[in-house]
Copies of this chain bind each other. A is one copy, B any other.
Amino acid sequence: MKFSKFGQKFTQPTGISQLMDDLGNALKSDQPINMLGGGNPARIKAVDELFLQTYQTLGNDGSVNATGTATSTTALNSMGNYSNPQGDAAFIDALVGFFNRHYDWNLTAANIALTNGSQNAFFYLFNLFGGAFTNEAAEHNESNQSIDKSILLPLAPEYIGYSDVHVDGQHFAAVLPHIDEVSHDGEDGFFKYRVDFAALEQLPALVEGRIGAICCSRPTNPTGNVLTDEEMSRLSDIAKRYEVPLIIDNAYGMPFPNIIYSDAHLNWDDNTILCFSLSKIGLPGVRTGIIVAAPEVIAAVSSMNAVVNLAPTRFGAAIATPLVKDDRIKQLSDNEIKPFYQQQAKLAVRLLKEALGDYPLVIHKPEGAIFLWLWFKDLPIDTVELYERLKQKGTLIVPSKYFFPGVDVNDYKHAHECIRMSIAADEQTLIEGIKVIGEVVRELYDNARC
């Protein structure tokens, strides 16, 4: 069968798709696997119990008919009816109340749309603000009616899942980071990325009007970096100056799942597009994303929902609504989810220091999210090759070069020296996975010294 160019773009094997297949296939194999590669959140007991209890309540809250059967339960209403394209109205109302209770944003329902997960939101937003634009300045010049605009990622590395979302080609510009040596919990051996504002403000694409939006994940997937309030404020100013929106991927951020350990605040205004997700509070299977933005953006997202999906899925909304209404989603995040991952990060750092303390490993300061980002300075092989060697020994991580959308990594050595490892695994998996990483990496450095 012949596929369109659109189809060919999506079916072409890319490095990322091969990697994803690899991860999927490895999970299906008989060999035991130390899975430090994926993005699945941990199963946390208190979290699971609350979700299960909520699930059961939704199936029993209806009126009981003559034969003793509960009908018109929330569960049935959610299964049995479409929402409108903007998303489940009861959940949107609950979110409006929640955000206005905790922030001074003065939202209305016109500021919120739901999507089938965060990836779906970024598919919409990056095509809405990246790709071919009508060139208003050249309206009467036929040869130049179109202008190509990119999504500006102010701090590479960024999320692997952004790379392929444009319906036609790739439209990213990225700025390489400042790398600062920092301490963490009083210890050395850490670094932190910072936005290179000098490079950012001189970026030809920005200055020349070829940027359609600025986007960052905060905390950052893959690094666990949290952009400081000051960095965010400067990005917001630049976005306003160039009349483009600032998109913040809040999948790991405030106020839920709140996997963030640094002192940071969340702001919103009508030039900001905030993207939230239910995945990392422990509900990835329900595919529910939340966009908070100006009404014109919400209207556009609703239109795209209508055409791409008719309407978003409702079950995640049904489960989350009672937890958002009475703030349990925030208590769960603050009291269970955040401490869990903070503990996991501590454990993983300790194990890594024990295994590789005398070797040139530096770790990105763990400020949030569910990953550690490890930099093996001057590693004798690139980390795609390291990934292969670790996989041979039953340990899966993700090599760094796929986390640089908008960067030509051929000329950037650092992009070949890092790996992302998940800390969502159980203690035994962390212990055994890091043991393998230690053995393989020590051997590589030791052999290079000979």
Contact = CB atoms under 8 A, between A and B. Distances in A.
A29 B172 CA distance: 44
Contact of A287 (B1, B131, B284, B313): B313
Given A167-B167, A287-B311, A309-B117, A82 B132 contact: no
Nearest to A86: B24
Most chain B CB inside 10 Å of its own CB: which residue of A75, A271, A303: A303
B164 A6 contact: no
B119 A310 contact: yes
Interface in A279-328: 279, 282-287, 294, 296-297, 299-300, 303-304, 306-316, 319
Contact of A51 (B20, B79, B82): B79
B300 A10 contact: yes
Given A4-B133, A286-B314, A81 B40 contact: yes
A307 B127 contact: no
Interface string A6-25: 11101100000100100010
A80 interface: yes
Given A83-B285, A127-B7, A313 B313 contact: yes
Contact of A17 (B56, B303, B319): B303
B132 A284 contact: no
A204 interface: no
A228 interface: no
Contact of A131 (B4, B43, B134, B311): B4
A285 B307 contact: no
Interface in A200-230: 212
A94 B58 CA distance: 26
Given A80-B43, A315-B285, A1 B297 contact: yes
Contact of A2 (B55, B133, B168): B133
A300 B3 contact: yes
Nearest to A314: B285
Contacts of A315: 285-286, 313, 315-316
Q: How large is the interface on A (under 10, 10 to 19, 20 to 34, 35 or more residues)?
A: 35 or more
A161 B119 contact: no
A27 to B, nearest CB: 9
Interface in A157-188: 161, 164-165, 167-168
B310 A117 contact: yes
A4 B132 contact: yes
A405 interface: no
Given A51-B79, A76-B52, A312-B287, A212 B70 contact: no
A443 B448 CA distance: 93
Interface in A397-421: none
Nearest to A27: B84
A315 to B, nearest CB: 4
Interface string A357-372: 0000000000000000
Given A1-B294, A4-B129, A52-B73, A80 B310 contact: no
B80 A303 contact: no
Nearest to A73: B52
A159 to B, nearest CB: 11
In the A-B complex, the 7 residue pairs with the closest CB atoms: A119-B310, A7-B128, A315-B315, A287-B313, A285-B314, A313-B313, A167-B167
Interface of A: 1-8, 10-11, 17, 20, 24, 38-41, 43, 45, 48-49, 51-52, 55-56, 59-60, 62, 69-71, 73, 75-85, 116-120, 123, 127-134, 146, 149, 161, 164-165, 167-168, 212, 243-245, 271, 279, 282-287, 294, 296-297, 299-300, 303-304, 306-316, 319
13 contacts: A2-B243, A3-B300, A4-B128, A5-B132, A41-B80, A55-B59, A79-B282, A79-B285, A80-B283, A116-B287, A116-B313, A119-B308, A308-B308
